[in-house]
Structure 1
Amino acid sequence: MSITMVLAAALAASPAPADQQSIAIGRWKTETRGGIVEIQRCGASICGRIVSSDALRANPALADSRNTNAALRNRPLRGLQILNGFTAGPDGTWLDGTIYNAEDGKTYNARVTPAGTNQLKLRGCVFVPLCKTQTWTRVN
């Protein structure tokens, strides 16, 4: 076998570099209340839904009772989309999106930044500089 064929075979067998924008895709454990959020592609953006939490394990029928919109207070928390409307930024970051906080029923401006392949930094802001950042850890 020629050196060219060996190199071609080695290149074909090596994994392609990870798409930086895909790093956020998967299931993530939140910093608080044992929450698990599944992030997936939604068109050119990403979105995230609540999969489980300590409260949902205790009461699977838990509703969005603190929503500021009374008409939405009966919707189930399980499967609720809480991350929306992001724009792809540099180095795998997702900018200009929103995150819904079921604990207070409000939606905040948000940014998702990878911190390696197994952690995400989620920053939610009422307005800058009034922001809070959480570190989410990948769940296998």
Structure 2
Amino acid sequence: MIRTLIMTAALAVGVAGTAAAAEPIVGNWKTATGATAEIAPCGGAYCVTLKTGKFVGKRIGNLTGTGGNYSGEITDPETDKTYSGSGAVDGNSLKMKGCVLKVLCKTQTWSRL
């Protein structure tokens, strides 16, 4: 009986630890153009892939980071140009920024779905 309780408690802690470890950037987001982008772990980073819209299936980003702040590369699907990028999660909003030479930047706010 005690062994079962210990194993159940250990399992509950393990499951809670896994849920707490999920990064806030992971999930589905509505982009500024209205398309849905999925951000999911891939390798040691987070891949941004369009799930709806004109460019469905296109991978448009690769970001690394933790705790709501991420950096990497963002690709404009219209021009297929890749920029230095970053993302910052604040609740259900994600500010995505793409920059040329870190001085000419464009920012979009995405909403969690």
- TM-score (ref. length: structure 2): 0.77
| Aligned residue pairs, count | 100
- Residue 18 of structure 1 is matched in structure 2 by 20
**Percent sequence identity over aligned pairs:** 40
Task: Tell which structure's C-alpha radius of gyration is larger.
Answer: 1
Structure 2 gap segments, 5+ residues each: 1-8
CA distance in 2, matches of 1:37, 1:82: 9
CA distance in 2, matches of 1:18, 1:136: 23
CA distance in 1, matches of 2:30, 2:74: 15
Superposition map of 1:6-85 within 5 A: 18-19=20-21, 22-32=23-33, 34-53=34-53, 56=54, 77-84=55-62
Instruction: Spell out structure 1 runs of 4+ moving beyond 6 A.
Output: none
Higher strand proportion: 2
Are positions 1:94 and 2:95 aligned together? no
